[in-house]
Chain A
Amino acid sequence: MPKLRNVAVVGFAQAPIVARDEHRIATEMLYEQVRAALAQCGVEREAIDYQAAGSADYLDGRPFGFVAALDVMGSWPAKADLHLEMDASFAAYYAWLRIQTGDSDTALVCGYGKTSEGEPERVLNLQLDPYYQAAIGLDPTSTAALQASAWMARTGATDRDLAALAARRRAAGARNPDAQLHDPASAEDLAQTPWAVEPLRRGYLPPVGESAVCLVLAAEGKAEKMCDRPAWIRGVDQRIELQTLGGRDLSRSAGAKLATERALAMAGLARAAEVDVVELCATTPAEECILCEAMGLDAAGARPAINPSGGPLAGNPLMMTGLIRLGEAFRQLAGRADGHGVAGARRAIAHGAQGHCLQHNVVWVLGDERRWT
Chain B
Amino acid sequence: MSTSGPPKEPVKYVEKQLHLPYCYVAGDYKVRYLAALKDKTILGSKCSRTGKVFVPPIVASPESFAPCDELIPVADRGVVTTFCIVNIPVIGRSIELPYVAASVALDGADISIYALIQECAPADVRMGMRVEAVWKPDGERQGSHEDIIHFRPTGEPDAPLASFMHRL
A interface with B by C-beta (< 8 Å): 20-25, 27-28, 31, 44-45, 58, 61, 70-72, 74-76, 114, 117-119, 122-123, 126, 130-131, 134-135
Contact = CB atoms under 8 A, between A and B. Distances in A.
B14 A135 contact: yes
Contact of A23 (B18, B19, B22, B27): B27
Nearest to B65: A74
A44 B65 CA distance: 9
B27 A117 contact: no
Interface in B51-103: 58-60, 62-63, 65
B14 A114 contact: no
A25 B18 contact: no
Most buried by A among B14, B30, B62: B62
Interface residues on B, range: 20 to 34
A28 B21 contact: no
Given A45-B65, A76-B65, A130-B16, A118 B22 contact: yes
Nearest to A61: B22
Nearest to A58: B20
B51 to A, nearest CB: 17
Contact of A76 (B19, B22, B30, B63): B63
A117 B23 CA distance: 5
Contacts of A44: 65
**Secondary structure type dominating chain A contacts:** loop
Contacts of B26: 25
Q: A-B pairs with the 9 shortest C-beta distances?
A: A71-B62, A61-B22, A25-B27, A28-B59, A118-B22, A74-B65, A23-B28, A31-B60, A24-B27
A117 B27 CA distance: 12
Interface of B: 14, 16, 18-30, 58-60, 62-63, 65
B62 A117 contact: no
A119 B60 contact: no
A25 B16 contact: no
Given A25-B26, A71-B60, A135-B16, 7 more contacts: A24-B25, A28-B29, A70-B62, A74-B65, A118-B22, A126-B18, A130-B14
A117 B25 contact: yes
Given A45-B65, A72-B59, A76-B65, A119 B27 contact: no
Contact of B24 (A28, A45, A76, A117): A117
A76 to B, nearest CB: 6
Contact of A114 (B25, B59, B65): B25
A70 B62 CA distance: 8
Contacts of B28: 23-24
A71 B58 contact: yes
Contacts of A45: 65
A60 to B, nearest CB: 8
A25 B20 contact: no
Given A24-B28, A31-B59, A71-B58, A122 B16 contact: no
A44 B66 CA distance: 11
A123 B22 CA distance: 11
A123 B20 contact: yes
Contact of B30 (A25, A58, A134, A135): A25
Contacts of A23: 25, 27-28
Contacts of B63: 76
